Amino acid sequence: MATVELLATEEGDRRRTLLLQFWDSTSDLFGFRFAEVYDERGGGRHTFEVDTGRRAIALLAKSTVDSERKVVEVFRQRIAAGELGPHLPPGGNRDLVERWILDAGLPRKVGGRERVHEVLRAGDRHLTLRFWVGPRPQTFCFEEERRTGGHRDPANVDAVSAPMGDLERLVAHLEGRYGKAGRPRMDDRLAACFAAAVEAGDLPPEGARDVAAAWFAAAGTAARQTGLAHTERLLRVHRADTDCVFTLTLTTDPQEGTITFREQYEYLPRPGDPGREYAYGVRTPYTSIRRLNEVLGAAPGGGEEARLAQCFRDLIAAGRIGDGRPLRQARDRVRELFAEAGVPAEETNWNWMNSD
């Protein structure tokens, strides 16, 4: 791949570069790339790219002879004329070049790498802000991630996102609470607000997505939450005498609108016994979460789901539910707690037999 730098400007704590890249390819989508690159002084980078095939080179150069050099000259002339350049917002140069490619009737692929700002790292918990996520529509998002063995697993990422056009609205809402950062860029200002929230103890490592989602909603953004269903393993015990794994779990799923507690028995395969599982559960609507936290005495601060999970761990620590008790006693005790809180309770029993 041959890379030509068209323009480089220093903008505060970042360097913006406009690049053309050429490589030999017969693909209709790869062979010619325009890239708008931002290098952060701290080492981060985010890009905006548009790819198309080499047919675009001949069309822009209006020639097949020395076409790459002529394309470079075309772009430099458009920069000199003010069509492209640092006066455009992030992604604006890429969007304009994409329009030229579409006007020429050529296929294109839009992409790039978002800007990432780490808000907090505490053990296996990572809180992260991402900006300019996705080619269309561009969004910003806050992620609460639980890493296993230091590796990122999308299944363990809870996020709340909104269109980039709503960024200023959220910044204004949070700066009213945490003060202005004194920085020109909206993404830096939002990152400063989240850092201030961490320092103030308002953004805990666990349950942070729920806190952030409340801010997004209060600011009136068109927010979208993902990674909603959460299962907390409250207790896991291996009963050696029966080779049974006994677990207590709590699943909160705002998308499905349920909270489910399960008492589960997994009998592992043994000679003459292929194995089986039983689960005895009770569920209530997700809207019961605040009432349950009130009745169970949830500690203040943090997200509703994290607070509820801690309430159940406290029940185990106090010996009110746990291992070594009669069958279905944990499920029945939780059903009684739901009744005491005045919330609906529905049994959800399940079983599975290994047929191997």
For a pLDDT cut of 90, what percent of the chain falls above it?
55
Say if residue 356's pLDDT is above 60: no
Residues 6+ apart with CB under 8 A from 43: none
How is the beta sheet containing 115-122 ordered, strand by strand?
A: 115-122, 125-133, 139-146, 157-163, 224-226
91 and 115 in contact (C-beta within 8 Å)? no
Task: For residues 207-232, give the mean pLDDT.
Answer: 86
More confident residue, 303 or 43: 303
pLDDT tens digits for 71-109? Answer: 999 999 999 999 999 999 888 999 999 999 999 999 998
- pLDDT score of 210: 85
pLDDT tens digits for 4-15? Answer: 999 999 987 789
Task: For residues 123-138, give the mean pLDDT.
Answer: 84
Phi, psi angles (nearest 5°) of residue 352: -150, 135
- pLDDT score of 291: 94
Whole-angstrom distance, CA of residue 306 vs CA of residue 300: 11
Task: For residues 47-51, give the mean pLDDT.
Answer: 92
- pLDDT score of 232: 83
Whole-angstrom distance, CA of residue 168 vs CA of residue 299: 33
- pLDDT score of 151: 60
- pLDDT score of 155: 58
Average pLDDT value for the chain: 88
Beta strands in the chain (DSSP E): 2-11, 14-22, 32-40, 45-52, 109-111, 115-122, 125-133, 139-146, 157-163, 224-226, 230-239, 244-253, 258-267, 276-285, 346-347, 350-353
pLDDT tens digits for 13-42? Answer: 789 999 999 988 888 888 899 999 998 876
Whole-angstrom distance, CA of residue 226 vs CA of residue 297: 28
Task: For residues 303-324, give the mean pLDDT.
Answer: 92
Report the range out of 32-46, 52-66, 159-173, 248-262 with the highest average pLDDT: 159-173
For tokens 């069958």, name the residue: 327
Residues 6+ apart with CB under 8 A from 203: 119, 120, 127, 194, 197, 211, 212
Q: How many CB atoms lie within 10 A of CB 25?
A: 14
Q: What is the DSSP string of 27-73?
A: -SSSSEEEEEEEEETTS-EEEEEEEE-THHHHHHHT-SSSHHHHHHH
Task: For residues 160-178, give the mean pLDDT.
Answer: 93
Provide the pLDDT confidence category of residue 274 given band limits of 50, 70 and 90.
Answer: confident
Compute, in degrees rounded to 10, the torsion defined by CA atoms 305, 154, 234, 252.
40
Q: Which amino acid is at 172?
A: A
Query: What are the structure tokens assigned to 355, written together?
Result: 């047929």
Say if residue 111's pLDDT is above 80: yes
- pLDDT score of 215: 94
Q: Which amino acid is at 289?
A: I
Provide the pLDDT confidence category of residue 317 given band limits of 50, 70 and 90.
Answer: very high
Say if residue 224's pLDDT is above 90: no
Q: Which amino acid is at 109?
A: K
Say if residue 299's pLDDT is above 70: yes
144 and 127 in contact (C-beta within 8 Å)? yes
For a pLDDT cut of 70, what percent of the chain falls above it?
95
pLDDT tens digits for 197-207? Answer: 999 999 988 88
More confident residue, 61 or 338: 338
Q: Which of 61-65, 153-157, 195-199, 257-261 has the lowest mean pLDDT?
A: 153-157
pTM more than 0.75: no
Provide the pLDDT confidence category of residue 355 given band limits of 50, 70 and 90.
Answer: low
